[in-house]
Amino acid sequence: MSTDRIVEAATRLFAERGYEGASTRLIAEAAGLNIATVSYHVGGKRELYLAVMERAHLAERAALEGAMEVFTPDRAGIHLLLDRYLDFCVERPEVPALWMRRWLSEADDVTSLEAEYVRPLIQQVVALVEDVAGPGTDLEFAVWTVIWSIHGFGRGGVLDPEGRRCRTDDPDALARFRAHLHVLADRLLGLA
């Protein structure tokens, strides 16, 4: 279907180039269609961006809800939740890329996405882990810290001794980051 092809092409380009760098013409070319066909199926660039972000949100929400269904209120449950989210971000790198670009001031005129998509998921996770966290823990900041860490590692990676970037496609770096993420969450939640 043309709509799926358009949204997939737009997702790739918005993730790679950002909202400003991905023109409707470029998206149409990447989808193998003309601009009129893109406009007919999804409307203008703003509507296309909203469709891309909705699809990204639905995928992220499904991954988190699946992890929350098997959550246990203990350290192992926290680690499983982290692992599932990290695995989702590794499998779908375009989703964290879209959010990172957005949080770095992309498409500022589209103001409803955080309230509609991000806030409810953050609140679900906070409610889920509040019985596990130590006293005085700022759970909202703890969740955001994990998100920023995962998205930052996925996009920027870490430098190896030779100065090369190691990201989620490097099995050793990914295993090391996963272990670090567990320690970070334990400390953030007062479990260490």
Instruction: Give the amino acid at 41.
Output: H
Beta bridge partners of 159: 165
Residues in the chain, how many? Answer: 192
Coil/strand/helix, residue 166:
strand
pTM: 0.92
Residue pair 11/56 in contact (Cβ under 8 Å)? The answer is: yes
| pLDDT values of the chain reduced to their tens digit, one per residue, 192 residues | 589 999 999 999 999 999 989 999 999 999 999 899 898 888 899 999 999 999 999 999 999 999 999 999 999 999 999 999 999 999 999 999 999 998 886 676 777 888 999 999 999 999 999 999 989 999 999 999 999 999 999 999 999 999 999 999 999 999 999 999 999 999 999 997
Residue pair 139/130 in contact (Cβ under 8 Å)? The answer is: yes
All domains of the chain, ordered by start, with CATH?
54-188 (1.10.357)
- Residue 1 has a pLDDT of 59
- Residue 85 has a pLDDT of 97
Distance CA 47, CA 153 (A): 30
